[in-house]
């Protein structure tokens, strides 16, 4: 190994480490701040001499996180299964069945991929008001199902397009009905696709901020992310408490990602290899 | 099966919506809501009165008032909810229009609330409880004319336990160091003191420019420059033809800009918010802190006797002093089904002795109420005592003016804050400042 | 969640679709509509229909509660004549540099670097670490970086430590630096996504191409330009599409960190729409801006997508 390649390797590793540092340092700064003395203003990144782990307990109770987590879970449970099921069904039909006007339907859905949520928030507000749902969790769940749908259908359709139609034909020869073909052959093959979708939708719902902010007044009926916005409004002063609270709300997203990160990356890779 | 049902629901809902939508809105009838007979009792049925207030000091304060009320009327429970100021200001119209509207809401700006019939007309209650016999200036800012826009005249829509009041706090020890033996008698003298503080290596003024604290001295400078407040008051009340694009505004903006340029304001003024400014001031960063009486309890708690308070000085010695004031206004939602009980609560917090004391000690506000009500007590030499005294003085001299920030629902957030930030950063001129605030105001009022 | 959208667009396998089309040329399967109906129904109800309403509202002067008055094109004209509205759109374009150009560029670098590592703990750690910001709520990103940029925050702490005391400032309150500072938050969020997607793309480039380039005596740079970049075309399109949408539609981070200030320096259409609707109660103006924003996204995304399809 020549000197220049060693130098190159050091440079490369150095650049990579710098980028990794960039990604992680804001979180570390939050973490050390969250452990500082309550009510104090610590400096950026300083390990406190006497870490106050109790701050997390304080943040937990003062932001009423228990109610927020419960609320977020209810919202996720309302959004994710329904959206995944509908998207799987639609994606399957658009890829494998000869849906009348399938192209038009798919085309309209693809437009939805690009629509910013803000562009819809104003009319959604009035629609939900006239449905009498404003302020309830349905006001978050129902629009979110609609807003996530384009991506879901897109994702599942891409998966089902990759399945050999010969499989369907074979099943047909065996006398299976359309439903049976789907249930016995296609659904099992789609497990990795829909489960990856479920994880993505979990993150999207859990992290949702705009919809709860606008559509639900009561912070305890929002998502945790929406609740955190209110928490920031109330405890803007106390940076220690704010950091502790923020870390608490990040934790589920982080854990879910770390658990599923392999599948995550595999889903991306698989899609790419096809 | 479930999805099929959902589909049916969806299709049904789409059809219903399409039918309903010709022009948006349009379902609210014109003219004020018909007044129903009112009663001054609270009845005997158990009632939960829902109160929505700002986060922060409002919460313990109104919770205490609610407990006092419950102690007197056992069948009424007061439940206090809160939202942070910016969120509540932004959403109050929609909260009141919604199906889960609270009974009583803290309203900072009346905006379109009256035009859209979202608040209960309090005139019948004012008559029933005899509020119409009290000094009437305390209700001026929440009277709204029949057009739903002009304030200061017409029917009453909100009352509150007490009043905010602005002026200038000073750090007594630092003031002594720059040779200030008594509060400045004129604006020029104040300006001189700022220069002395700067030369002494002190931070002359601590203020929060991120969320609009810098608008207070601006308004004071405008009124001081005009040596009158009528023009500003007319503007606040949306009197037809009122304008803020005046020489006085340009002068005031010029002075404020110069203060910024001379380093009288903190270098990062536009990043300091209303929670950081008092903390910095308490820590000795700043000789003067222009703010309001709501800060007084906090200052007294952390440094009793260390901080003084004076009203913003007039242009000429002995001239009229002005201060901005706003009632901590509470309105009754038009949708409330307990409006009689809510009105009883509003009467109670203005008249009950203990409630008035809490208004000072917990809310940091100056109570008004009936002319003969006993004044609350405050420790001598405290900042609270100074603010209460100043308020009484101004009540007599007619020196209380509303906040420009409350002129329209969005003038504060959309114009005054960003424009003042631009002014302090030297990115706009005083003349352009005055013109821009005026044009935004006219747009807000749809003139 | 425009977030993770479009992730797989590039992977639309072309060949099988052809097969389906050929084999499925039968009579239309009306029963198949039942499969699509729930998804499309929800989409129509909560996306398409509101979008049409937005268009309708944009021609009215409406405070959201009282009766609406027809306003002709006034709301639309205002977008191009009111400086605040126009600036908010400009800022969104500047944010594209930070949300899109920089993350894609740095992502290419990071992906190339990670690829050259032996697969193992370090490369996995690098990938995971870079991706973390992407999975966190944007609200938390806003809070974390507001703290980083504050007077006592880490950025100033580092500047002081290296003797650049005089360059310390309250970054988000500074007229010159507020927008770039907000932009860096976008880099932080988007970098991991771009890196991981591009890494996946590099993985599928046939090794023979690299060997061939090496046999031709190509240097590292030439290899990158001749093999890596063309091979990543579709991934690049997906990255760009997704990040450009995020830039134009930014809301959470700004609402949490600067609320558009100082002045109007970081005001973006997303925050402006929210304010116009709920604070100013100019629902018509908000809707015009919303429709304009949606159209803008489409107009910008369209050519990028075309670029990806050409072969």
pLDDT in tens, C100-157: 999 999 999 999 888 888 778 888 888 889 999 988 999 999 999 999 998 888 999 9
Q: Does domain B164-326+399-444 have CATH number 3.40.50.11540?
A: no
| Mean pLDDT, all residues of chain B | 85
State residue C124 phi and psi, 5-degree precision: -65, -45
Residue A42 backbone class (left: φ over 0; alpha: ψ -120 to 50; beta: rest): beta
Helix (H, G, I), strand (E, B) or coil at B273: coil
For the cut 50, the answer to whether the pLDDT of residue C299 exceeds it is: yes
Q: Does A150 touch chain B (CB under 8 A)?
A: no
Of 3.30.530.20, 3.40.250.10, 3.40.190.10, 1.10.150.170, the CATH number of B47-162+328-377 is 3.40.190.10
State mean pLDDT over B198-207.
95
How is domain A63-235 classified at the CATH fold level? MetI-like fold (1.10.3720)
Per-domain residue ranges of chain A: 63-235
Please give the residue that has the higher pLDDT: either A229 or B113: B113
**Which stretch, C26-35, C214-223, C297-306, has highest mean pLDDT?**
C297-306
For the cut 70, the answer to whether the pLDDT of residue C310 exceeds it is: no
- Percent of chain C scored above 90 by pLDDT? 47
Residue to substitute from B81, B87, B274, interface A, most A β-carbons within 10 A: B87
Residues ≥6 apart with Cβ < 8 Å to C131: A257, A261, A264, C192, C193, C195, C196
Please give the residue that has the higher pLDDT: either A114 or C6: A114
State mean pLDDT over B201-224.
92
Name residue B81's beta-bridge partners: B52
Q: What is the ipTM of this complex?
A: 0.88
Q: Which two tokens stand for residue C96?
A: 């594209």
Q: Does A209 touch chain B (CB under 8 A)?
A: no
| Band of residue C26 on the pLDDT scale cut at 50, 70, 90 | low
Q: Do residues A151 and C9 make contact, with C-beta atoms less than 8 angstroms apart?
A: no
Instruction: Read off the pLDDT of residues A85-144 as tens digits, 9 standing for 90 and up.
Output: 999 999 999 988 888 888 899 999 988 888 888 889 999 998 998 888 888 889 999 999
For the cut 60, the answer to whether the pLDDT of residue C72 exceeds it is: yes
Helix (H, G, I), strand (E, B) or coil at B156: strand
Nearest chain A CA: its distance from B285 CA (Å): 15
Name residue B155's beta-bridge partners: B144
For B136-150, B321-335, C161-175, which range has the lowest pLDDT when averaged over its residues? B136-150
Q: Does A143 touch chain B (CB under 8 A)?
A: no
| Band of residue B90 on the pLDDT scale cut at 50, 70, 90 | confident
| Band of residue B30 on the pLDDT scale cut at 50, 70, 90 | very low
Q: Which two tokens stand for residue B400?
A: 């209380």
Q: Do residues C55 and B25 make contact, with C-beta atoms less than 8 angstroms apart?
A: no
Q: Which two tokens stand for residue B272?
A: 């300091």
- For C15-21, the CB contacts below 8 A with 24+ separation are C16/A161, C16/A162, C16/A163, C16/A164, C16/A165, C17/A161, C19/A164, C19/A165, C20/A95, C20/A96, C20/A161, C20/A165
Give me the pLDDT at residue B381, please. Answer: 78
Distance CA B386, CA A52 (A): 39
Give me the pLDDT at residue B23, please. Answer: 59
| Band of residue B66 on the pLDDT scale cut at 50, 70, 90 | very high
Give me the pLDDT at residue C181, please. Answer: 96
For the cut 90, the answer to whether the pLDDT of residue B264 exceeds it is: yes
Q: Which two tokens stand for residue A191?
A: 């497990």
Instruction: Read off the pLDDT of residues A181-210 as tens digits, 9 standing for 90 and up.
Output: 888 888 888 888 888 889 889 988 988 988
Nearest chain C CA: its distance from A58 CA (Å): 18
Place of tokens 């304008």: B243
Please give the residue that has the higher pLDDT: either B3 or C173: C173
| Band of residue A217 on the pLDDT scale cut at 50, 70, 90 | confident
Distance CA C92, CA C88 (A): 6
Nearest to B98 among A86, A89, A134 (CB): A134
Name residue B144's beta-bridge partners: B151, B155
Nearest chain B CA: its distance from C159 CA (Å): 17
Helix (H, G, I), strand (E, B) or coil at A77: helix
- Percent of chain C scored above 70 by pLDDT? 90
Per-domain residue ranges of chain B: 47-162+328-377, 164-326+399-444
Instruction: Read off the pLDDT of residues B112-146 as tens digits, 9 standing for 90 and up.
Output: 888 888 999 999 999 999 998 888 878 888 899 88
For the cut 80, the answer to whether the pLDDT of residue B56 exceeds it is: no
For the cut 80, the answer to whether the pLDDT of residue A233 exceeds it is: no
For B30-39, B288-297, B380-389, C49-58, which range has the lowest pLDDT when averaged over its residues? B30-39
CB pair distance less than 8 Å for C26 and A98? yes
Domains of chain C, first to last: 9-21+48-309 (1.10.3720.10)
Chain C residues with at least one Cβ partner in B under 8 Å: 34, 37-38, 41-42, 44-45, 49, 53, 56-57, 60-68, 70, 84, 150-151, 169-170, 172-175, 259-264, 275, 278-281, 283
């Amino acid at each position: 190994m020549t000197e220049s390649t060693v130098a190159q390797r050091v440079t490369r590793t150095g650049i990579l480490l710098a980028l990794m540092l960039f990604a992680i340092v804001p979180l570390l700064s939050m973490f050390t701040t969250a452990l500082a003395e309550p009510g104090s203003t610590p400096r950026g990144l300083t390990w406190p001499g006497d870490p106050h782990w109790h701050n997390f307990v304080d943040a937990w109770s003062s932001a009423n996180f228990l109610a927020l987590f419960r609320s977020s879970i209810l919202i996720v449970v309302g959004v994710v299964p329904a959206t995944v099921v509908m998207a799987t069904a639609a994606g399957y039909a658009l890829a494998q069945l000869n849906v009348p006007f399938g192209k038009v339907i798919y085309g309209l859905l693809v437009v939805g991929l690009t629509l910013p949520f803000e562009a819809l928030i104003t009319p959604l507000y009035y629609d939900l008001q006239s449905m009498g749902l404003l302020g309830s969790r349905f006001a978050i769940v129902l629009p979110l199902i609609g807003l996530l749908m384009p991506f879901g259908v897109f994702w599942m359709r891409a998966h089902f397009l990759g399945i050999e139609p010969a499989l369907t034909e074979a099943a047909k020869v065996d006398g299976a009905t359309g439903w049976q073909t789907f249930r016995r052959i296609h659904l099992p093959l789609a497990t990795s696709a829909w489960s990856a979708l479920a994880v993505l939708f979990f993150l999207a719902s859990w992290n949702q901020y705009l919809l709860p902010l606008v559509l639900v007044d009561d912070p305890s009926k929002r998502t945790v992310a929406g609740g955190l916005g209110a928490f920031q409004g109330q405890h803007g002063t106390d940076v220690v408490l704010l950091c502790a609270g923020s870390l608490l709300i990040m934790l589920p997203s982080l854990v879910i990602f770390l658990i599923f990160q392999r599948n995550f990356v595999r889903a991306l890779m698989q899609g790419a290899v096809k | 099966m479930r999805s099929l049902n959902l589909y049916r629901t969806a299709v049904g809902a789409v059809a219903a919506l399409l039918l309903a939508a010709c022009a948006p809105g349009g379902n609210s009838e014109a003219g004020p809501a018909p007044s129903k007979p009112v009663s001054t009792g609270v009845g005997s049925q158990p009632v939960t009165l829902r109160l929505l207030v700002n986060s922060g000091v409002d919460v313990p304060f109104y919770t205490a008032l609610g407990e006092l009320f419950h102690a007197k009327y056992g069948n009424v429970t007061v439940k206090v909810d809160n939202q942070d100021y910016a969120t509540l200001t932004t959403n109050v119209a929609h909260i009141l229009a919604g199906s889960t509207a609270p009974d009583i809401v803290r309203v900072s700006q009346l905006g379109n609330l009256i035009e859209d019939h979202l608040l209960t007309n309090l005139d019948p209650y004012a008559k029933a409880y005899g509020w119409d016999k009290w000094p009437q200036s305390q209700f001026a800012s929440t009277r709204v004319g029949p057009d739903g826009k002009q304030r200061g005249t017409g029917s009453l829509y909100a009352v509150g336990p007490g009043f905010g009041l602005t002026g200038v706090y000073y750090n007594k020890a630092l003031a002594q160091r720059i040779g200030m033996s008594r509060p400045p008698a004129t604006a020029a003298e104040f300006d001189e003191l700022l220069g002395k503080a700067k030369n002494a290596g002190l931070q002359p003024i601590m203020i929060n420019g991120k969320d609009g604290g810098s608008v207070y001295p601006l308004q004071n400078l405008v009124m001081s420059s005009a040596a009158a407040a009528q023009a500003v008051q007319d503007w606040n009340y949306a009197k037809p033809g009122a304008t803020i694009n005046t020489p006085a505004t340009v002068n005031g903006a010029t002075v404020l800009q110069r203060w910024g340029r001379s380093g009288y304001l903190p270098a990062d003024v536009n990043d300091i918010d209303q929670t950081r400014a008092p903390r910095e001031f308490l820590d000795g960063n700043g000789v003067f802190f222009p703010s309001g009486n709501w800060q007084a309890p906090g200052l007294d708690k952390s440094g009793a006797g260390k901080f003084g308070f004076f009203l913003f000085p007039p242009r000429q010695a002995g001239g009229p002093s002005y201060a901005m004031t706003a009632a901590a206004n509470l309105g009754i939602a038009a949708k409330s089904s307990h409006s009689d009980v809510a009105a009883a609560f509003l009467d109670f917090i203005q008249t009950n002795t203990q409630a008035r004391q809490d208004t000072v000690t917990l809310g940091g506000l100056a109570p008004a109420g009936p002319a003969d009500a006993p004044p609350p007590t405050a420790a001598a030499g405290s900042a609270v005592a100074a603010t209460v005294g100043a308020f009484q003085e101004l009540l007599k001299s007619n020196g209380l003016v509303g906040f420009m920030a409350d002129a329209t629902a969005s003038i504060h957030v959309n114009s005054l804050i960003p424009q003042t930030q631009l002014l302090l950063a030297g990115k706009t001129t005083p003349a352009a400042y005055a013109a821009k605030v005026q044009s935004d105001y006219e747009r807000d009022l749809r003139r | 969640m425009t977030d993770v959208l479009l992730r797989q667009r590039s992977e639309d396998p072309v060949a099988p679709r052809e097969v389906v089309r050929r084999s499925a040329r039968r009579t239309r399967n009306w029963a198949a509509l039942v499969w699509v109906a729930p998804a499309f129904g929800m989409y129509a109800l909560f996306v398409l229909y509101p979008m049409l309403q937005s268009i309708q509202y944009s021609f009215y002067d409406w405070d959201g509660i009282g009766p609406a008055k027809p306003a002709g094109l006034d709301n639309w004209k205002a977008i191009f004549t009111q400086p605040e509205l126009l600036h908010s759109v400009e800022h969104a374009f500047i944010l594209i540099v930070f949300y899109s150009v920089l993350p894609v560029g740095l992502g290419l670098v990071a992906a190339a670097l990670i690829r050259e590592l032996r697969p193992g703990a370090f490369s996995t750690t690098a990938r995971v670490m870079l991706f973390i910001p992407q999975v966190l709520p944007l609200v938390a990103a806003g809070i974390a970086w507001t703290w980083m940029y504050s007077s006592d925050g880490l950025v100033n702490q580092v500047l002081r430590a290296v003797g650049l005391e005089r360059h310390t400032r309250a970054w988000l309150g500074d007229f010159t630096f507020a927008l770039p500072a907000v932009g860096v938050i976008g880099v932080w969020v988007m970098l991991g996504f771009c890196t991981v997607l591009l890494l996946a793309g590099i993985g599928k480039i046939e090794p023979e191409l690299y060997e061939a380039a090496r046999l031709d005596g190509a240097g590292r740079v030439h290899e990158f330009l001749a093999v890596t970049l063309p091979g990543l075309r579709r991934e690049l399109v997906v990255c760009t599409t997704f990040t450009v949408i995020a830039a134009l539609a930014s809301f959470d981070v700004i609402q949490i960190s600067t609320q558009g200030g100082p002045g109007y320096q970081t005001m973006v259409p997303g925050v402006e729409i929210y304010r116009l609707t709920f604070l100013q109660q100019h629902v018509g103006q908000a809707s015009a801006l919303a429709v304009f924003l949606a159209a803008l996204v489409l107009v910008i995304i369209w050519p990028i997508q075309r670029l990806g399809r050409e072969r």
